Amino acid sequence: MLAVEDDGQQRRYLEELIRGAGHHVLAAETAGAALRLAAARPLDLAVVDVFLPDATACELIPVLRAFRPGLPVVTVTGASNRELELGIRRLGVVCYLAKPIAAAEVLGLLAHLDRRRGGSPGEES
């Protein structure tokens, strides 16, 4: 899994939640770093902050999917509004989360995706 979040505290929080659920997680603080990781490693999920220093999720998601077709993406944002959410959802994201992110929300989402895939947490990247 890939967590893309420019705020260090939020990024560590996501990493801890994902690892705590038994998943391997790669972390990036910019879109550029996320693309380098996506090009080099298999991914089964990306959690992407909507506003990064070098791109928005609307710019990053299509490029991520060029490297990893069909990659499920979850977006997170502290600047949530209906128009923004609709634009992001048009990209086919699995889930759109508003900050502050609740641990139960992330853990439930991970469990749901694991069940959908029919795999266990230790089977992905």
| Tens of pLDDT, residues 36-84 | 999 999 999 999 999 999 999 999 999 999 989 999 999 999 987 888 8
Residue 125 has pLDDT above 70, yes or no: no
Distance CA(62)–CA(83), nearest Å, equals 19
Which of 12, 75, 69, 10 is CA-nearest to residue 44? 69
Predicted confidence at residue 84, as pLDDT, reads: 87
Peptide linkage before 100 cis (omega within 30 of 0): yes
H or E element in which residue 8 lies: helix 8-20
Higher model confidence: residue 6 or residue 81? Answer: 6
Domains of the chain, earliest start first: 2-123 (3.40.50.2300)
Percent of residues in the chain assigned helix, strand, coil, to nearest 5:
50, 15, 35
pLDDT category of residue 121 using cuts at 50, 70 and 90: low
